[in-house]
Amino acid sequence: MKVFSAGQRKLINGMENLHYEERLRHSGLMSLETRGVRGDLIEVFKFLNRSYTVDADIFFEYDKGNRKGHSKKLFKRRSRLDVRKYVFGNRVTDKWNNLPQFCINCKTLNNFKSHIHKVLEPETK
């Protein structure tokens, strides 16, 4: 993935008068929001595949219902307070549960990253 600073993006010929979304589209980059989602999903993958010594059960609970979708669906804990709604475990659950099975079945982190890029890519176009 190409990395450009804000000033460099404007210096590319013909991009100085374009809006942020148009500059991203022309340079083939993801928006800041999409990059944040990508980073969160990568961290969930690491937790669930035991890349960390921290127990994933602290953050996540597997969904015990037989719902449609992939085999590693997460349960989203209910909360009354806004503070709890934005905790990492609750923030990423819906995004993780919406991933297709081929992303979840990845064996390596690099394979997951390439699949996740394909899934998030339509948001950049």
Q: Is-contact 107 75, C-beta < 8 A?
A: no
Angstrom CA distances, 76 to 2, 21, 46, 122, stand at 34, 32, 18, 26
pLDDT of residue 108: 93
Q: Rounded mean pLDDT of 31-40?
A: 90
Rounded to two decimals, the pTM is: 0.74
Report the distance separating Cα 104 and Cα 78, nearest Å: 24
107 C-beta neighbours (distance < 10 Å), count? 8
Q: What is the pLDDT of residues 46-79, one digit of tens each?
A: 988 888 777 777 777 777 777 776 778 888 877 7
Q: Is-contact 105 114, C-beta < 8 A?
A: no
pLDDT of residue 14: 73
Q: What is the pLDDT of residues 81-115, one digit of tens each?
A: 777 777 887 888 889 988 998 998 899 999 999 99
In eight-state DSSP terms, residue 75 is P
pLDDT of residue 122: 61
At residue 17, does pLDDT exceed 90?
A: no
